[in-house]
Amino acid sequence: MIVSLVCGIPHLTVADIQDTLESPANQQKVTGIGTVSGWAFSTDPQATVVRVKLRIDGQVSGDIAWPGQRGDVAATFPTSPQALNSGFASGVNFSDLSSGSHKIGVEITDDRGGSMIIDHDVTVIRVGGFPLLSDLSLVTTEPNIDGRQIRLPFVDVTEKSTDTTSEPRTQQVRLTLGWQADRQALGIVDSENTSDPTQPENDPDDRSIEELVLPPSSLSANKCGTPSRNSR
């Protein structure tokens, strides 16, 4: 098996696999649900790419959907018939990972034992420290445009809880948006918590049957205050 470590640029080795990992870009800041995508094909007429696998921090984490049509790749490599059906892509929730540095990549194999690996360094940003959000409120924010970035203080984010027995938590954060060239869009490049996470108070008129029937002394209440605005 031939394995080659590369870093985000088109390349060709003795494995006869031409490939590029387009997203996430190397050194990109990622958050929430995004895409791991790119393209790969064999330049050997006798070989075919048969599998593309997702890699997270050097470990295989499942298969990536392949192949998909890539007319742009076929136009760039007109003498390679396999270039047209060379696309691969998979949705990933980057915020399932811990905040900080990680490696996201792919492992591409053909039916003749050739293998290529591409790993990109990324920085994961977990907004509010949550893996998923159910709401993001800009009602109280005061935007500040500073050169190439937009800063948004006093943003309230609410986690999307997978535990139906507990109330989702809300966290106040300061977000920074910046241009991300590979996505051709503004993206979150920094998130800083500016309050402690809180849970919403229960509505007194939205009580359970037990709360309506049992005396208060037999109930265990856990009331939390609403988040307060912190100074910047």
Kind plus residue range of the DSSP H or E element containing 210: helix 209-213
Of residues 169, 174, 177, the one with CA closest to residue 141: 174
Query: What is the pLDDT confidence band of residue 16, given thresholds at 50, 70 and 90?
Result: confident
Q: Are 32 and 93 in contact (CB under 8 A)?
A: yes
Domains within the chain, CATH numbers bracketed = 5-124 (2.60.40.650), 127-199 (no CATH)
Q: Are 221 and 164 in contact (CB under 8 A)?
A: no
Say if pTM beats, i.e. exceeds, 0.85: no
Kindly report, residue by residue over 178-206, the tens digit of the pLDDT. 998 878 899 999 999 998 877 655 544 44
Kind plus residue range of the DSSP H or E element containing 103: strand 100-110
Q: Which carries the bigger pLDDT value, residue 201 or residue 2? A: 201
Is the pLDDT assigned to residue 158 strictly greater than 90?
A: yes
Q: What share of the chain in percent tops pLDDT 70?
A: 79
What's the rounded Cα separation, in Å, for the pair 164 and 19?
43
Q: What pLDDT, on a 0 to 100 scale, did the predictor assign at position 9?
A: 45
Q: What pLDDT, on a 0 to 100 scale, did the predictor assign at position 201?
A: 58
Q: Which carries the bigger pLDDT value, residue 44 or residue 215? A: 44
103 Cβ contact list (under 8 Å, min separation 6): 55, 56, 57, 58, 119, 120, 121, 122
What's the rounded Cα separation, in Å, for the pair 47 and 73?
18
Is the pLDDT assigned to residue 231 strictly greater than 50?
A: no
Three-state DSSP state, 206: coil
